[in-house]
Chain A
Amino acid sequence: MATFEVSGFSELNQALSRVSDVPEEIKREILTAMGEEALAAVREAGEAAGIRSADPEAKHVLDALSLSKVKFNDNGGSVLVTFKGSRKDAKHGKRTRQAAVAFYNEYGTKHQRARPFMRPGIERRRQQIYEAGEKVYHRWLKSSF
């Protein structure tokens, strides 16, 4: 844990302003670490829910998981766990976006029971996701003070 030693208000003020001024590359690293942990959580939950297709020809939705670039805005930053690309449906010959396949699994349809894996995956590993970000933050804090 980081500690601060200050002898007066101006030093305290200076120390706190340095903490609030986390460099962009560190913010990017924090969000990426959290995103990677979230992606792993979703993949693990998907495997556990048995959503991997038996069709060896189809690129599977869990293999389409990817992390977007970090974006910054006025509210901070974000990184998205997404499903990239599409796959050919062996039965109908049509292409379906992997994101749609993920949605059908998460929420189900009239004929297919939902097999939620995104929300449960994230909830199961919420603590580890925060910790992945904290680890980067504390490493930076330690090296900065």
Chain B
Amino acid sequence: MAAQTGPAQADTVQTRAGPEAKQFGADAGPETVITVSGLAKRYGDIEAVRGIDFTVARGETFGFLGPNGAGKSTTIKILCTLANATAGTAIVAGHNAATERDAVRRNIGLVFQDTTLDTYLTAEQNLRFHAELYGVPKAAVMPRMRQVMDMVGLWDRKDSLVSTYSGGMQRRLEIARGLLHAPHVLFLDEPTVGLDPQTRSSIWAYINDLKSREDITIFLTTHYMDEAEHCDRIAIIDHGKIVAIDTPEALKASVGKDRVQIHTADDQRAIAELGTTFGIEAAVHDGAVTFSVAAGEQFVPRLFTEFSIPIRSVSVSRPSLDDVFMSYTGTTIRDAEGGAGNEFMRNIHKLRSGRR
């Protein structure tokens, strides 16, 4: 133990240096934490998940993005051993999610969409319950509890009943609890759903913070486009199939060009010159000369050196994930959720709104 009192950053590699870690490393290789192949799930006539394949690397934040009813929650349930797949396999932290449930459960942390705290107990009692249930070594319970509660900024409220917590605090406490037994993978099913925008961004601050403190892989689902930006890689899922999987940057790049808007002294001459000098078609939108170009940030310096008309201001905007979703599914995520003609989706929607 004495050798391991290095700085917090250096420790991340050693974190798993127990007997279990070796076994984990041997089983899965250090780099792949989740391997899913040919996974399918049907409920009666409804095919919720229709054969998906993907892998998640160690340390990655992997986002599952899609409208309600696209198959996100079903997939996460299978990975967390809460549902059986109709076909295909899922290997999580080196163990088969269907046949080695306990082994998988020991290695994952879960934060569900709906709260699973006992609101009649204090925060500390909730965490202690979890520690005992997961068999966290007795000597480690207290320090670890402090560690995870500090991480989400709740240590000074540990003796309060959970019923006195706000929605955002409860979600943070659940994240802390999910981390208590030092899992390899943390599953977050819609971690910010039902929270106000300010609380949502604070939850993300805590999640990003924990990434720097723990050696952990995060698998999350969301239907908020802006949140997907926090992920290292995203899988877009629609109607039970993965339609795209890549980094947010690459996905956006695949959609195409950036949008550049410039304010000039003479818009008409600017449009003409853009056409002759760069072969770009521009037009005036929202009172600015607007045009699309690949790699906008590299284009702007050229614009300044080669353009004869004075430019007062420039703005470059990248395609958003909304544009990405649109280009892969042909619909916006909002339209997909409100869309008629998909019985299953609407039923799911009804079920959810009924539960809240």
Verify that A and B bind, or say they do not.
Answer: no
Using a CB–CB cutoff of 8 Å, the interface residues on chain B facing chain A are none
Show the binding face of A for B, using Cβ within 8 Å.
Answer: none
